[in-house]
Amino acid sequence: MSSVSWWFIYQECLPPVAYQGVAAVTPILIPCLLLRLMVASRLMPDWHINLMGALSGAAVLVHYYEESSIYFFVLCIVCYFIIATVSQKGTSVAVLSVAFIIACEQLIVAPASWHKIRGSILLMIMKMISIGFDMETRPTPHSSKSSTLQPPQAKPTFLEYCCYCIMPGTTVFGPFISYQTHLGFLNPTPLTYPWFFKLVLSLVKAVIAVCVSVCIANFLFPAPVWNKWLTAYSAALSFRTSHYFVCYLSEVTATAVGIGYENRADGSQDWDKLAVCHPRHVELPRSFSMVITNWNLSMHLFLKNYVFKPARRRVGPFGAIFLTFVASSILHGLNFQLAAVLLSIGVYAYIENRLRSKLSKRLDACVLDRPCGPECGHSHTPNDTWWVWLVNIQFTLLVMFHLAYLGLMFRSEPDMQEFDYQGFSMWHTLRKWAQLDFASHWVAMATYLVSLVI
């Protein structure tokens, strides 16, 4: 990139993009801070706080989504009726939510409008499904035996439920939180320096992420470029950093309203525990499983507790992985572009896990898809055997190769920008991957064959 290009980015791109990043969260940040002040003042009862949370959340939805906000309110009310009346609450809400997504995407909502609201709709659906399952008698997280049960969670009032579903701190950008975590914002924690530092730090990270996405990643390898894989990496990096931007904004809004702390033994609060993503584990990944976990920690928690664990008890690990990514694809909307990427990641993660598990046993080495603990029992570790470190680095490069290939789907093109707000068709997706000769899928197939023969 020439010095002129860098000067243009510094003068003409970074300032307006940073301003727009802060402006995007300001309409949510203000009501979140007001709610935080109301709770910290200890002057109002909980029902009043819940009422203000629900009303301010509704106002935020109307501000961001205008007439499309009606879909949030209708779905919220219908699901509460189901939760209050039927016995299989979680399953019923999940079935209704899937039907709602299909109806909106295929029949009711214009594609551009649906593309705009589906992320926030997904967040609200996750909340409603989780509260439905949590109100049923269910196995404990530490046991797969159906005989070990937790008592059902008490049913919230309609006002408490509405505050949970649409409160401004977790509605537009997220993150997904359980109802029990949500209740933490009602505790009158003091306005401390660590709380304010966490809020400001997350906002700074969000601004940096959006500046990298818009002003740097897209100009790293300007077309025409001699290597199409560099173009693919640039597109994937731009997409990933835009995702980090949203994740950090969700940390900002959740922290602003008073969510995400942990109580210490001395009664103070630790505000450093809230994290929605870990970019380091995505940009320099040890494995696909680490990417999946750290891409969106809150959604990973939802899928793990409400999809993967129940499915694994019935259909085994591969079936559970497949069903988890099917559920994720449906919740994201019936879009071939997203579904193809998500399902590819699920298959890649399974193949990699299978191969590395076999290699770990045959080589007696710490080459699993997740780092070994200090008492893993392997004879060869990265600290004392150089080739173990080299094997893990090779898997890191392989995952980065796959991510560049998959991320090419999200590259914006001047003649097709209208589809950025609707999603792309199957043929567009296949045509994009054909530009890279379907190399990632061929490599994944070869990796699977290797895992069969060793």
Contact of 247 with 211, CB cutoff 8 Å:
no
What are residue 365's DSSP bridge partners?
A: 380
Compare 87 and 212 and report the one with higher pLDDT: 212
Q: What angle do CA 230, 236, 238 make, to 5 degrees?
A: 105
pLDDT at 421 over 50: no
pLDDT of amino acid 311: 84
Q: Which of 181-190, 197-206, 373-382, 425-434 has the highest mean pLDDT?
A: 197-206
Q: How confident is residue 327, by pLDDT bands cut at 50, 70 and 90? A: confident
| Domain positions in the chain | 43-187, 284-293+305-454
pLDDT at 3 over 50: no
Compare 15 and 174 and report the one with higher pLDDT: 15
Q: What is the DSSP letter of 223?
A: S
Which residue blocks in 135-263 are alpha helix, DSSP H?
158-166, 179-182, 193-211, 228-257
Q: How confident is residue 424, by pLDDT bands cut at 50, 70 and 90? A: low
pLDDT of amino acid 226: 58
pLDDT at 317 over 90: no
Q: How confident is residue 416, by pLDDT bands cut at 50, 70 and 90? A: very low
pLDDT of amino acid 418: 46
Contact of 118 with 333, CB cutoff 8 Å:
yes
Mean of the pLDDT values across residues 315-326? 80
pTM confidence score: 0.89
Residue 205: CB partners within 8 Å, gap ≥ 6? 244, 248, 251
- Tens digit of pLDDT for each residue in 119-146? 899 999 999 999 998 887 555 544 444 4
Cα gap 135→129, rounded to integer Å? 10
Cα gap 64→262, rounded to integer Å? 31
pLDDT of amino acid 105: 82
Q: How confident is residue 332, by pLDDT bands cut at 50, 70 and 90? A: confident
Compare 334 and 212 and report the one with higher pLDDT: 212
Quick one: tokens of 278? 């870990």
Instruction: Of 337, 352, 302, 342, give the one whose Cα is nearest residue 433.
Output: 337
pLDDT of amino acid 39: 92
pLDDT of amino acid 159: 94
Cα gap 319→321, rounded to integer Å? 5
Cα gap 402→399, rounded to integer Å? 5
pLDDT of amino acid 419: 45
Amino acid present at 451: S
Euclidean distance between the first and the last CA atom of the chain, given in angstroms as a whole number: 45
pLDDT of amino acid 19: 93
pLDDT at 414 over 80: no
**Rounded (10°) angle between helices 70-85 and 46-65:** 140
SS3 assignment, position 347 = helix
Q: What is the mean pLDDT of the chain?
A: 85
Mean of the pLDDT values across residues 338-350? 85
Q: What angle do CA 129, 176, 328 make, to 5 degrees?
A: 65
pLDDT at 1 over 60: no
SS3 assignment, position 287 = coil
Neighbouring CB atoms inside 10 A of 13's CB total 17
- Tens digit of pLDDT for each residue in 178-228? 998 998 889 888 899 999 999 999 999 999 999 999 988 877 776 555 577
Handedness of CA 9, 10, 11, 12 (dihedral sign): positive
Percent of the chain with pLDDT over 90: 47
Q: What is the DSSP letter of 379?
A: S
Cα gap 446→440, rounded to integer Å? 10
Half-sphere exposure of 198 (CA within 13 A, CB side): 24
* Active site positions, annotated: 332
Query: Which of 2-11, 280-289, 299-308 has the least mean pLDDT?
Result: 2-11
